[in-house]
Structure 1
Amino acid sequence: MIRTGTDYRESIRDGREIHVNGERVADVTAHPMFKPLVDIRARIFDMAHAPETAAVMTVRGEGEVNAQANALPFSQADWWAKRRATEAVLDVVGGVVTRVGDETVGEMWSLHDCAATLNEIDPQFAPNIAAHIARVVRADPFHVSANTDPKGDRSKTPGEQDPDMLLHVVRETDAGLIVRGAKFETAAAYANQAFTKPTIATWGEGVLSPYAVGFICDLGTPGLKFICRTGFATRAPAEDYPLSNRFDEIEALVIFDDVLIPWENVLFHRHVASAMAMRATLHRYSAFAFVQRSLKFADMMIGAALFNLRQTGLDRLQGVQEKLAQLACWREGIDAHLTSAIAMAERSPAGLMMPNQSLIYAGRVFAAGQMAAMMHLARELCGGQIGLTPDAAAFRAPETAPWLEKFYGINDEWQAEDRRRLMAFARDLLNSDYAGHRLTFELFAQSPPFAHLAAVYRNFDWDGPLDCVRQAAGLSERVMGTATRSCADSPASRWFATERAGP
């Protein structure tokens, strides 16, 4: 059943060993660097109970009320509902948060699709997969993802260097697996559990490997250590850095120092083929929620730039309008990929409804690949004052406030305080340490850019363009091998002939 924010806070007060900035954290729910995101995640839990948001945040299944984000998708309507729920969260919290569960839980649905393949390779863990997928829906944990290892020297195999550079099994016991190594995980220090699995790396040349292991890790397990990067919250006043102080999702290097993973939490083990099958479909669903954040980020950039231009009348200039149009095209392109991925959704091998795979993966490349350029364009439109404006304290100090009122006030509509707030927001969105971190996160959080392109390559319908050219050029069908489908039989053409026409 759905939990409350209080339930969540109590669940992570479990004595876990968290370190940040050389300090041992006594209470992750109260520490100033973690509290902002703990509060946001608690707010999301409470939104499922609040009368004004409960309908969009929940879904009824098997006699229970469950979180909309955790429910398996069986129809296009389910994806529209998930999109509305995410939009509601981002609107209520007033910013972009990514690793809050709805983006990471999609990896479990991919595991659901892989279950039959994993079962063929090694059937002993099939019941565990089904049990944990059901548990995510019913127990409503804060579920995150563990992918990236320290890796070490990537020119060497795991056996040629310190084996702990990739998480691996060191021995089997009656109680479960003993694992050693480390994973970088966003939000792990204040989450309940993580789907822990191999990174994109070599697992060795054999059929079996101690590095080919996937499991659900209870993040309160004894033996885990969380070494976190220093957060952006509290570094500078919230008035001057409103995003840094509220939306910094802190990463942790999670140390597995001979940690016991009970057998019931193991999802696959030893077989390299299992790891490869899982990695090939890992972001089949979660890419949608990831790309949806880019849409919100685009809206924030456009709004910050346009307000800065309108306050001084520069939005009337043709050159400025052209730059705004570039931002708008990027934003609308992201929206188009999200919308069409639902409109042309596909049935998965295990019977779930997937966003159209080619479109959602192409959308991820489109959104992340252009983000750096769009941020720079937004900086240009905002102008140099986002890097020059004094801090909030100067706008209040008796000796400086009159001068800042004079030079930052424009008219009755734009007084100095509103302009200061806008400059601070734009600076934090585009120029701050938080802004740079956010850009890097967008590039690498689900996998590096080359892997994004590889996903597009694997899912694009190459036969459609080939057959179009075959017909247009009058080539024989021999050049297509066994492919005989015409252009009219492409996924897009089928959608226009059926869904577009209506029931």
Structure 2
Amino acid sequence: MIRTGNEYRESIRDGRQVWINGEKVDDVTTHPMFKPIVDVRARIYDLAHEEATQEVMAYTDETTGELNAIANRLPKTHQDWADKRAAVDLVQREAGGVVTRVGDETIGEMWSLFDGQDVLNEVDPRFSENIRRHIAKSITADPFHVSANTDPKGDRSKAPQDQDPDMLLHVVRETDNGIVVRGAKYETAAAYSNQAFTKPTIANWGNSELSDYAVGFVMDMGTPGLKFISRNGFAGKGPSADYPLSNRVDEVESLVVFDDVEIPWEDVLFYRHTKAAAFIRSTLHRYSAFPFVQRTLHLADLMIGAALWNVKQTGLEKQQAVQEKLAQLACYRESINAHLTAAIANAETSPGGLLMPNQSLLYAGRVTALSQLPAMMHIARELCGGQICITPDAATFSDPEVSPWLEKFYSINDNWVSEDRRKLLAFARDLLNSDYAGHRLTFQLFAQSPPFAQLGAVYRNFDFDGPLGLVKASAGLSDKILGGVPD
């Protein structure tokens, strides 16, 4: 049964060990650096219960008659994807900014495992049974599910076995109940989630068929032995009036330390076989890339809106140079939209019988969205003007001695008064120029995988035979030549 926001809050009050800003946290639901984003996730749960939004966020299971989250529903039809896209749009609007690690984006990695059951069966038939059970649980129990990927790694010129072995998460021993793992992972939202799909990072196992580093499992975030060492949050570091995004939608990352943590066998999804680990890495974002790229579309809309309101306020929207820059932002936005739309229109049946977005179009869209993002943010900065970096804060605007001067110089006309001007500039600064903005840019570029891996996904999924055949026919090449591209 789909949960309420308060049920979610109660579920993460489990005694987990969390540190942030030099202190140990008693309750992540009330700590000022966690509370805003916990409230956003709780709001997502509540949207599924409210009459005005329930139809967008939830569906009735045909078998049980229970309400389940659309985000967790296995995608089998084009309508399923249309529903998921509408739900993500609603969540972003309700959040008032971009929120990425809230569950709908990370659950798709489990669907990739569902497609890989044949590979998992080669390792151990229990593992494919485990993935089916966990997917069913994600649908019916509605946990906040996140993803654990990147390790500290240490000296990358060395194999993990040739340095401190804990630099990559690994299995240290087996027990009758399961496996015991040691190491650490960087995870967004870990400290306030219910569970995580923990899997190996991009690693070089050499020619090894078996490796203690090739392990994947579902981790209950309340398990004893886990320690969450979080980066300093942006929430609370400045007034909300000056930093509306930092204080509302900052998603806190943690270094999650596994201090000899036991994982029950029923939660292990693959173990030791490097073939299974490599397969999972290569297909990991088959589904999750879609809602991730959709977030970048929303970010593009925020940049366009902030820039356009600024030129409207200042009377510059009719200038050709301004319109050309707005058109560049619009082309960027629509190129993302086109890739998302086409990926579903040309969706493919997956090995597990699900409907997956067209892989070549989806991955190309991800590269387009993320590789152009820094340049688009700079265009938005230019359109917003230099005042986003020199405008005084809200407290100064309220100071009785100087407020008349600020009202005079920041009011443009009867329709655009100083307070609206201040609010827009504060929003644009937090979107484009603040510490939070820099963090968001880096996060978007690397959150799913580094750029070389994103291009690698395009290479593996693009149909090179089409261009090869075209040139072979056009150039009159001999039938003796070999087609295709190297693996």
Whether the TM-score (by the shorter chain) exceeds 0.5 is: yes
Q: What CA RMSD, in Å, does the superposition of the two structures yield over aligned residues?
A: 1.1
SS in 2 for 1:479: coil
| Alignment partners' CA distance in 1, 2:81 and 2:479 | 39
| Alignment partners' CA distance in 2, 1:482 and 1:48 | 48
Q: Which residue of 2 aligns with 1:57?
A: 57
Q: Which residue of 1 aligns with 2:207?
A: 205
Q: Which residue of 1 aligns with 2:30?
A: 30
1:123-181 per-position Cα deviation (integer Å, ceiling 9, x unaligned):
23221111111111111000000000000000000111000000000000011111000
1:67-88 per-position Cα deviation (integer Å, ceiling 9, x unaligned):
0000000011111110001001
SS in 2 for 1:331: helix
Offset, 1:229: 0.2
| Alignment partners' CA distance in 2, 1:436 and 1:448 | 17
| Alignment partners' CA distance in 1, 2:87 and 2:333 | 20
1:305-343 per-position Cα deviation (integer Å, ceiling 9, x unaligned):
111111111111111111111111000000000000010
The structure-2 alpha-carbon separation of the partners of 1:218 and 1:463, relative to structure 1 and needing over 3 Å to count, comes to same
Return the match for 2:73 from 71, 74, 88: 71
The structure-2 alpha-carbon separation of the partners of 1:23 and 1:108, relative to structure 1 and needing over 3 Å to count, comes to same
| Alignment partners' CA distance in 2, 1:21 and 1:203 | 36
Offset, 1:466: 1.1
1:101 to 2:122 alignment:
no
Conserved? CA contact 1:467–1:480, under 8 Å: no
Q: Which residue of 2 aligns with 1:255?
A: 257
| Alignment partners' CA distance in 1, 2:456 and 2:133 | 31
SS in 2 for 1:273: helix
Greater CA drift, 469-478 or 246-255: 469-478
Offset, 1:92: 1.6
Offset, 1:204: 4.9
Q: Which residue of 1 aligns with 2:376?
A: 374
1:231 to 2:211 alignment:
no
Conserved? CA contact 2:59–2:68, under 8 Å: yes
Return the match for 1:331 from 330, 333, 348: 333
Provide the TM-score with structure 2 as the length reference: 0.98
1:259-290 per-position Cα deviation (integer Å, ceiling 9, x unaligned):
01011100111111110111110000000000
Letter in 1 for 2:68: N
Return the match for 1:221 from 216, 219, 223: 223
Q: Which residue of 2 aligns with 1:165?
A: 167
| Alignment partners' CA distance in 1, 2:469 and 2:59 | 43
1:476-499 per-position Cα deviation (integer Å, ceiling 9, x unaligned):
44335489xxxxxxxxxxxxxxxx
1:3 to 2:9 alignment:
no
Letter in 2 for 1:366: T
SS in 2 for 1:150: coil
Conserved? CA contact 1:337–1:363, under 8 Å: yes
Q: Which residue of 2 aligns with 1:15?
A: 15
Q: Which residue of 1 aligns with 2:47?
A: 47
Match runs of 1:178-197 below 5 Å: 178-197=180-199
Return the match for 2:288 from 286, 289, 295: 286
SS in 1 for 2:481: helix
Tell me the number of residue pairs that the alignment of Structure 1 and Structure 2 aligns: 483
Q: Which residue of 2 aligns with 1:307?
A: 309
Gaps of 5+ in 1: 484-503
Match runs of 1:83-98 below 5 Å: 83-98=85-100
| Alignment partners' CA distance in 2, 1:67 and 1:116 | 28
1:46-93 per-position Cα deviation (integer Å, ceiling 9, x unaligned):
111100010011122222221000000001111111000100111122
Greater CA drift, 173-182 or 124-133: 124-133
Q: Which residue of 2 aligns with 1:501?
A: none
SS in 2 for 1:314: coil
Q: Which residue of 1 aligns with 2:119?
A: 117
| Alignment partners' CA distance in 2, 1:277 and 1:459 | 14
Letter in 1 for 2:427: F
| Alignment partners' CA distance in 2, 1:180 and 1:325 | 51
Offset, 1:471: 2.1
Offset, 1:468: 1.5
SS in 2 for 1:233: coil
Provide the TM-score with structure 1 as the length reference: 0.95
Letter in 1 for 2:345: A
| Alignment partners' CA distance in 2, 1:292 and 1:121 | 35
Letter in 2 for 1:41: R
Offset, 1:422: 0.2
Q: Which residue of 2 aligns with 1:500?
A: none
Q: Which residue of 1 aligns with 2:425?
A: 423
| Alignment partners' CA distance in 1, 2:158 and 2:247 | 40
| Alignment partners' CA distance in 2, 1:197 and 1:204 | 18
Conserved? CA contact 1:121–1:273, under 8 Å: no
Q: Which residue of 1 aligns with 2:83?
A: 81
Letter in 2 for 1:376: H
Gaps of 5+ in 2: none
Conserved? CA contact 2:468–2:484, under 8 Å: no
Conserved? CA contact 1:168–1:181, under 8 Å: yes
Q: Which residue of 2 aligns with 1:438?
A: 440
Offset, 1:26: 0.4
1:366-400 per-position Cα deviation (integer Å, ceiling 9, x unaligned):
00000000001110111000001100011111101
Letter in 2 for 1:44: I
